[in-house]
Amino acid sequence: AGGYNVRGQASAQGDAASAQGRTFERVAEVRKLGGRKVPTAVVHAFAPGGAEVAVLERYTADAPSLEQLEKDARVAMSLRHPNVAAVRDVWHEGGELCIASEWVEGETLEELRRLGAGGKDLSIEVGVRIIVDLLGALSALHTLGAGGLAHGEVTTTTVIVGFDGTTRVVRPYRGRMAGKLAEPDWFSYAAPELVRGGAADPRADLYAVGVLLWETLSRRKLFPKATREGRAARTMPVGKPTAPAEAAWAAPLAAVAERALANDPAARYTSAAEMAAAVRLAVRSKLAMPPRVAAAVDKLAGDKILARRTANALPEVDTTGARVSGRPSRPSLPPDAVRALSKMRPSSRPPTPKPGLVAMPPVPKAPPVPSIAAPVEPGPKLEQPRTGPRPFAPALNLTPPLPKV
């Protein structure tokens, strides 16, 4: 997992002086990220509201499209979406471009598939829920700002399923650099036009989601060990995926994946929202809810996530910035998700003692309020009802007397 690389006090003060206007006031310590295969480090930063774990990426001056990368990262900072790892800060330091993003407490889809026997232990319902969350994130990115952002690197390593059951995508700002800093698994999910050197656009992202959906249904890789040369030479369309027998209800999803995997971008879905609607229509009530996804993540990778939570513990600081004691990191989850997570797993944070109850003084009784209503004069005395039997009344002869002749 790598050891601590704690910065000296002078360096920390220098960072604080150069951090004017930034979200994070001071970088406390930087260390290698353990337990997750991503080329990043964890930065412990002290924000005005307290300590927070963030993911730090550094790009040198010779990185391609560095200026455009900074612009897109600043655009992504304005996005707050439950399915996108938020970009916390963008700044320059030591001739490098630094981007700090939200740390997602969860596991990558690649690792979950590996732990789940190639995806067989992940139910189709859970896998489809991950796809729907991913499409929600892409829909927000594609409509962000004036021209939108394309992700360009949708793979099993950039899709993280949170401990709270919510799926998030990371690095939403590298779409214009797609292929230039490609990771090994990028070719297995890149659209044909990207492999041939084309620019990333929303429909290229939908192709990658189509590959993920195909693999979710078939429970195997669509393009195992793909390379640039092999993907560029491929022109034949892929076949329809076959859902397992126990998930016959998922058969309509094969047509959704086939359309998303069209070699011609014009033949794919026009937007992520349209594809998400098609997925929801195909599965209807079979779509898993976040608590079920959270249970699957806990079963497959719960122990690893909790161990990583302890390894990424933040040091507690006082108002002067000095370290006081160690404490676990706060998960980057919304409040309702934290409450749900606390019921599933015991928190690694020791319980905070509650203050004793303070006796309140008794409230004095208010004096009676005098009546201001006008006096009411007594009315006539009502006759009491008779209690005995009624007297017999003679019968009345209603026949008129006959006239005298």
pLDDT digits (tens, 9 = 90+) for 350-377: 445 555 555 566 667 767 766 665 565 6
Residue 158 pLDDT: 93
Higher pLDDT, 314 or 219: 219
- Note every long-range contact of 41-50, with CB atoms under 8 Å and residues 24 or more positions apart, other chains counting: 42/103, 42/312, 43/100, 44/314, 44/315, 45/88, 45/89, 45/100, 46/317, 46/321, 47/23, 50/330
User: What's the rounded mean pLDDT across residues 222-246?
Assistant: 74
User: What's the rounded mean pLDDT across residues 78-85?
Assistant: 94
Of 98, 107, 26, 3, the C-alpha closest to 60 is: 98
Say if residue 95's pLDDT is above 50.
yes
What percentage of the chain's residues is helix, strand, coil (to nearest 5)? 35, 15, 50
CB 172 within 8 A of CB 104: no
Angstrom distance (rounded) from CA 310 to CA 346: 13
Of 123, 11, 144, 156, the C-alpha closest to 80 is: 144
Residue 235 pLDDT: 60
User: What's the rounded mean pLDDT across residues 231-252?
Assistant: 79
Burial of 404 (0-12, 13-18, 19+ CB in 10 A): exposed
> C-alpha distances in angstroms, 31 versus 186, 328, 330?
26, 16, 17
The string of pLDDT tens digits covering residues 2-55 is 222 223 222 333 343 344 445 555 565 566 555 555 445 566 666 665 667 788
The pTM (predicted TM-score) of the whole model is: 0.71
Angstrom distance (rounded) from CA 220 to CA 234: 19
Amino acid at 59: Y
